[in-house]
């Protein structure tokens, strides 16, 4: 399919000035949409909950993109969920069970730093589940996401892509920086050693779980400035489209032209 990793142009860049201008404009629009969706701008009813999923190679810039996404929002109005290895208790349940408590209700917003897609990535690549379970899990994820969307959730999914060379450069930068060494773990190096298997798994993941109301947006993240702008502007466009699709009159943000 056309939306595969090898179709991305990783050479795209943005200047510092343009990036800062567009991020500031996007953050203003995101704040407006967030307040509108929560019913905090007047008598309008609460809009659907919003789920934003971030996946990507280690050091692809998920954390930086999430920080720009949430920087202009009141912390009471957004929940960021870092997803780690399942606990023993979680492993005794269906793999989607552990995400239920953090899903947003009407007018709420949740951002997942990694997600249920670990089932199709790390668990598959490390052969913690067999091929039949992988395919069944993909079908269950599609059903789960369809249920969320049909129940009134807006779902936006990002995969941040960087080259093997850029990932190694970022790993080495982290290793040399005492303030960032904690970000680099043995698991990161292990995952890097399995990169070809991850590329195959990601392409399958996108092919199997890209569906009309839960589309995968693949982000060229070699240049962090470009990636952050792309994420914010794409989220705005998809959020506005889904609100309009559901019959909400999306308000204008006067003085904001985030796509300029």
The CATH number assigned to the domain holding 18 equals: 3.40.50.300
The structure tokens listed for 130 are 């067999």
First to last CA, the chain: 30
Give me the pLDDT at residue 258, please: 37
Residue 258's nearest CA partner among 10, 9, 31, 38 is 31
Q: Examine residue 252 and state whether it is found in any structural domain, yes or no.
A: no
pLDDT at residue 92 tops 80:
yes
Q: Examine residue 214 and state whether it is found in any structural domain, yes or no.
A: yes
CA dist 56 and 235 (Å) reads 16
% of the chain with per-residue pLDDT over 90:
88
* Number of domains present in the structure of the chain: 1
Contact yes or no for 192/90 (Cβ under 8 A)? no
Q: Examine residue 240 and state whether it is found in any structural domain, yes or no.
A: yes
**6 band by pLDDT with thresholds 50, 70 and 90:** confident
Query: How many other C-beta atoms are found inside a 10 Å radius of the C-beta of residue 30?
Result: 25
Q: Examine residue 258 and state whether it is found in any structural domain, yes or no.
A: no
14, 78, 136 from 66: Cα distances, Å: 18, 11, 30
110 pairs with which residues across the strands?
A: 51, 79
Q: Examine residue 52 and state whether it is found in any structural domain, yes or no.
A: yes
Q: What is the mean pLDDT of the chain?
A: 93
pLDDT at residue 91 tops 80:
yes
Tell me the average pLDDT across 121-135.
97
R_g of the chain, CA atoms, integer Å: 18
Give me the pLDDT at residue 254, please: 58
Range of the domain at 171: 5-245
Q: Examine residue 218 and state whether it is found in any structural domain, yes or no.
A: yes
173, 174, 182, 190 from 178: Cα distances, Å: 10, 8, 8, 21
Q: Examine residue 254 and state whether it is found in any structural domain, yes or no.
A: no
Give me the pLDDT at residue 1, please: 41
**253 band by pLDDT with thresholds 50, 70 and 90:** confident
**45 band by pLDDT with thresholds 50, 70 and 90:** confident
Q: Examine residue 22 and state whether it is found in any structural domain, yes or no.
A: yes
pTM of the model: 0.94
């Amino acid at each position: 399919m056309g939306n595969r990793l090898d179709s991305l142009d990783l050479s795209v860049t943005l200047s510092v000035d343009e990036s800062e201008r567009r991020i500031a404009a996007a953050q203003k629009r995101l704040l407006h949409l967030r307040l509108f969706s929560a019913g905090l701008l007047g008598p309008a009813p609460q809009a659907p909950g919003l789920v934003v999923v971030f996946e990507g190679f280690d050091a692809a810039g998920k954390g930086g993109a999430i920080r720009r996404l949430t920087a202009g929002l009141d912390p009471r109005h957004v929940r960021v969920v870092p997803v780690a290895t399942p606990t023993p208790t979680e492993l005794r349940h269906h793999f989607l069970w552990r995400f239920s408590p953090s899903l947003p209700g009407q007018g709420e917003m949740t951002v997942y730093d990694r997600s249920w897609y670990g089932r199709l990535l790390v668990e598959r690549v490390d052969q913690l589940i067999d091929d039949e379970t992988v395919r069944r899990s993909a079908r269950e994820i599609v059903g789960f996401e369809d249920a969320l969307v049909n129940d009134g959730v807006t779902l936006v999914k990002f995969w941040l892509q960087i080259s093997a060379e850029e990932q190694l450069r970022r790993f080495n930068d982290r290793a040399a920086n005492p303030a960032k060494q904690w970000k680099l773990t043995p698991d990161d190096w292990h995952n890097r050693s399995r990169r070809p298997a991850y590329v195959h798994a990601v392409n399958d993941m996108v092919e199997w779980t890209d569906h009309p109301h839960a589309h995968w947006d693949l982000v060229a993240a070699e240049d962090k400035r470009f990636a952050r702008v792309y994420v914010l502007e794409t989220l705005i466009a998809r959020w506005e489209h889904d609100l309009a699709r559901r019959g909400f009159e999306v308000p204008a943000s006067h003085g904001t032209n985030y796509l300029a």
